[in-house]
Amino acid sequence: MNSPPNGQQLRSLATQTALMDAAETLIANNGAHRVTIKDIVREAGQKNESVLQYHFKNIQGLIAAIHQRRNQQIREKRAQMLKKLEGSKSKLTLHDLCELMVYPTFSLARTDNQFRHYAAAFSHEIVLSEDSALTKVSRSGGGGKSGMRVGDLLRQALPHLDDATYQARMELAVRMCSAAVSNHMRNKNPTKGPAADFFISNLVDALEGLLIAKPSLKTIG
């Protein structure tokens, strides 16, 4: 059985959290290229600039830690939603599966303003990535077991797509959703009210339409 953290460990965790929160907020508001280590340290209420290097080595290490904690939250939320849906239905619809792709992030942003900063700050990274968006998500651990389960169910739900077209559609789907969420989270009150409800519902509809569309003769050659 692990011992509970001592006072020094708790203070260290609090400092790490403050630095991660500060980076999310500043990058969401100003863009990553305009944020310095000094800015992050000051926003976190710290006085010594070396505190970031001590805990994370550099900004890249800090951002990696941010993704790790947020991806864990997303995985847990998706697993909860998947368990609830599978417990209430004999078979999930494509619409259900599309909701499982986007609702976990949106739901977390709805209940945690700090998570909203994360979504605004970093969702666009997938859009701008020169690598495959699916590979980037996989390498970051963003999918987890629940993500793999949803992926398997999506493949079963789209038998009209051959493997190459399915992969291309999923690549488009991930980039489209990431861009939409990143842009939307920069709006005022992006997770509250009718406009927010319309956004997420319409995004799920658009995602379903993208995936269900029959390939044209030009596409399948």
Residue whose C-alpha is closest to residue 129's, from 74, 166, 171: 171
Per-residue pLDDT of the chain (221 residues; tens, 9 = 90+): 566 677 778 888 999 999 999 999 999 999 888 999 999 999 999 988 899 999 999 999 999 999 999 999 999 999 999 999 999 999 999 999 999 999 999 999 999 999 999 999 988 777 776 777 676 666 655 578 898 899 999 999 999 999 999 999 999 999 899 999 999 998 989 999 999 999 999 999 999 999 999 999 999 87
Q: Are 97 and 8 in contact (CB under 8 A)?
A: no
CATH architecture of 1-57: Orthogonal Bundle (1.10)
Q: What CA–CA distances, in Å, run from 170 to 13, 18, 109, 158, 178?
A: 37, 35, 23, 11, 12
Length of the chain: 221
DSSP readout, 121-187? Answer: HHTHHHHH-SS-HHHHHHHTT-SHHHHHHHHHHHHHH-TTS-HHHHHHHHHHHHHHHHHHHHHHTTS
Q: Where do the domains of the chain lie?
A: 1-57, 69-220
**CATH class (in words) of the domain with range 69-220:** mainly alpha
- pTM exceeds 0.85: yes
